[in-house]
A and B are shown apart, each in its own frame.
Chain A
Amino acid sequence: EVQLVESGGGLVQPGGSLRLSCAASGFTFSNYEMNWVRRAPGKGLEWVSYISSYSTTIYYADSVKGRFSISRDNADNSLYLQMNSLRAEDTAVYYCARLDYYRSGTYAMGLWGQGTLVTVSS
């Protein structure tokens, strides 16, 4: 089955760290660029970070730049998000999402995991 499964969420104190994982299965992970997207309680979707197939290109949202780090292990079919210096406003469900390319040359986030909840609170 083609799927993405996130893990690693939980309760962490402000200033703390957490590492999220996303396990990919059912497809050739190394062929795909990947993203992290989050949704805070009562708010909309917010794109967090992007990584290219072989980690040569990485982007971050300004809200997490310098605190979060995206990485991947193609041999292990896994995507990661290392989150440091966490703040209350980082509380959200975090999704990993695969970037799918289409024949027209365009792309969009065609496959999503179910998400993992991160709560930053004392």
Chain B
Amino acid sequence: EIVLTQFPGTLSLSPGERATLSCRASQSVTSSYLAWYQQKPGQAPRLVIYDASSRATGIPDRFSGSGSGTDFTLTISRLEPEDFAVYYCQQCESSPFTFGPGTKVDIK
């Protein structure tokens, strides 16, 4: 089983600041199968990034993904009020399709 670790657990930032979220895999993950999701309270998760670096439909270009192998990063260049949420990385390379524990981005 591929275990995903995310850090930090919580990121406290102000609107306009840059957010850098990390996801580390216990073994190499083909970047094609690494995705990031956003979830707000009371809402379903929403796909943000697939293929490690491709933005999903409707996702603004302030969101970017990068990385390969075991280390992946989600960057939000300038936080907007609607970006404060929990973000999860996930691998779909092999079953079980594990999620990381999440990083909460909250307002400082």
Mind listing 12 A-B residue pairs with CB under 8 Å? Answer: A37-B99, A47-B99, A59-B95, A99-B92, A104-B32, A106-B33, A107-B50, A108-B47, A109-B45, A109-B90, A110-B50, A112-B46
Q: List residues of A whose CB falls within 8 A of some B CB.
A: 35, 37, 39, 44-47, 50, 59, 61-62, 95, 97, 99-100, 102, 104-110, 112-115
B97 x A47 contact (CB < 8 A): yes
CA distance A12 to B43 in the complex (A): 23
- Using a Cβ–Cβ cut-off of 8 Å, how many residues does chain B contribute to the interface with A? 28
Q: Please give me the residue from chain B that is nearest to A112 by CB atom.
A: B44
A118 to chain B, nearest CB (A): 15
B54 to chain A, nearest CB (A): 7
CA distance A113 to B45 in the complex (A): 9
B residues 76-91 with Cβ under 8 Å of A? 86, 88, 90
